Amino acid sequence: MKTRIPDATRNPPARPREVSPPGGEEPVPGNGRGEGAAPGRRRPRGPVAMMAAIRLALVLGIAIAGTGCTALQGPPVEYPAIAPSDGPGEEVVTEHAFLFEGATERLAVSVDDRLLEGARSAGREVLVRGEVPEKEWIAGAYRAQVADPAQDRFYADLLAGFREIRERRGLDPDRYLELLAGAVQQLPYVAAPRTAAKYPAETWSDRGGDCDDKALLLAGLLGREGYRVALLVFLPEAHMAVGVGCPDGMGWSGTDYAYLEATNATYVGSLPERIGDGDRLDSQPLVVPVGNGTTLYGAVADVRAIEAARETARARIETLGPEIDRRAGAHEGERERLEAPGSSGSRAAYDAALARYRAEGAAIDRLVDEHNRLVDLLNLTAASRYDRAGAADYLRANPP
């Protein structure tokens, strides 16, 4: 006798949810290897471009010295500087909206257009006289660009807006650093292949930039707020990031700094898997300290716990997916056998088979629930890269 299993007894197993592709999982944009030049930009880009410009100045200096010219008398290294243009000047107001800990903040800052004209027309050539180690003048060039005193008012006005948010939200030093980092990360990435880095005031006023533009801006803000900060210059990969001081033993790749990517949404202390067209950051960076700050970032342990939880969740999801598919397929086959005429034999045998079917269905549901919970964990932690404190609280309540 055929007996149909009641619908209310066992519905087909729920399907696992998919992991949403989070923005932070994308490659860090650009690595400066593109060809061509952006309109209105006249010099090669970033770390590699800076070296090219400096080497040109160095060769010219050697040539002049060889002719007996006294034009090279002066300090061992001369760095470019902003000379604000003449005239009455006008204020250029730039507003930037960004997400932080679940809410949108807006900052509007006025920048004198004479400063911007001076920054955009400033050369990027460094004059090197005599024997100066390469790493020394590269580091000096970037520090001069970050700390150019013509930008003092720009920094003061911008940081006044950030400090208001800090006071209003009651942010501790770690969360305040994350606020500054998130604001710069969310400035649009604007590729400018083979062009030199912009001054920080330019980057904010232009509402975007590439890796070195945004790294210089972020390092300047953090340094002026008393954080221990450095630029991380990856010359082989033509990439620049920021390093923030952290407790002993928590630094990245043998340094005393936690890695901070300025170009997209990543936690402070989280290294991107790849940049540009899939390149990995395999080289040791040139570390360029900026400012004299001493405040450390103390939440690296939280970030490492988040990353470890994500890796655990990914690995378990990779195991659960095939297991759910296999068992759900077998379970559907068992359903069909139970519903087939004459399949059950005796009533006792049928009842035993039905009990096994229901138990297996419940087991599959538990696996699906676990899978979906882990997917939720991955999606939430990926979407919370501007809310490290919230992600850490979630994981403490919902470990993988």
- Report how far residue 287's alpha carbon sits from residue 310's, in angstroms, rounded to the nearest whole number: 29
Classify residue 76 by its DSSP letter.
S
- Answer yes or no: is 92 within a domain: yes
How are beta strands 229-234 and 286-290 bridged, if at all? Answer: antiparallel
- Answer yes or no: is 376 within a domain: yes
- Answer yes or no: is 59 within a domain: yes
204 plus 335 within the same structural domain: no
- Answer yes or no: is 158 within a domain: yes
158 plus 53 within the same structural domain: yes
How are beta strands 103-112 and 91-100 bridged, if at all? Answer: antiparallel
- Answer yes or no: is 78 within a domain: yes
pLDDT at 125: 87
- Answer yes or no: is 232 within a domain: no
Classify residue 277 by its DSSP letter.
T
- Answer yes or no: is 350 within a domain: yes
User: Where a domain ends, among 224, 248, 266?
Assistant: 224
43 plus 189 within the same structural domain: yes
Q: How many domains does the chain fold into?
A: 2
211 plus 333 within the same structural domain: no
190 plus 332 within the same structural domain: no
Residuewise pLDDT in 10s, the chain (400 residues):
222 222 223 333 455 555 544 333 444 564 433 322 222 222 333 454 555 444 444 433 333 233 333 444 668 899 999 999 888 778 999 999 999 999 999 999 999 999 999 999 998 889 998 888 988 999 999 999 999 999 999 999 999 999 999 999 999 999 999 999 999 999 999 888 778 899 999 999 999 999 999 999 999 999 999 999 999 999 888 899 999 999 999 998 889 999 999 998 899 999 887 787 678 888 899 999 999 999 999 999 999 999 999 999 999 999 999 999 999 999 998 888 888 766 657 888 888 888 999 999 999 999 999 999 999 999 999 999 999 999 999 999 999 9
| Both structure tokens of 54 | 């400096």
Against a cut of 0.75, is the pTM above it? yes
- Report how far residue 143's alpha carbon sits from residue 289's, in angstroms, rounded to the nearest whole number: 8
188 plus 67 within the same structural domain: yes
213 plus 313 within the same structural domain: no
Which tens digits make up the pLDDT trace of 300-321? Answer: 999 999 999 999 999 999 999 9
Residue type, 267: Y
User: Where a domain ends, among 224, 248, 275?
Assistant: 224
| 288 beta partners | 231
User: Where a domain ends, among 197, 224, 251?
Assistant: 224
Residue type, 35: E
308: Cα within 13 Å, side-chain hemisphere = 10
pLDDT at 369: 95
What domain range includes position 339? 304-397
- Show contacts of 217-220: CB within 8 Å, 24+ apart: 217/184, 217/187, 217/262, 218/180, 218/181, 218/184, 218/242, 218/260, 218/262, 219/146, 219/290, 220/146, 220/147, 220/151, 220/155, 220/290
pLDDT at 276: 72
- Answer yes or no: is 374 within a domain: yes
Strands (E), 274-327: 286-290
pLDDT at 353: 87
- Report how far residue 170's alpha carbon sits from residue 50's, in angstroms, rounded to the nearest whole number: 40
Which tens digits make up the pLDDT trace of 39-91? Answer: 222 233 345 455 544 444 443 333 323 333 344 466 889 999 999 988 877 89
| 109 beta partners | 94
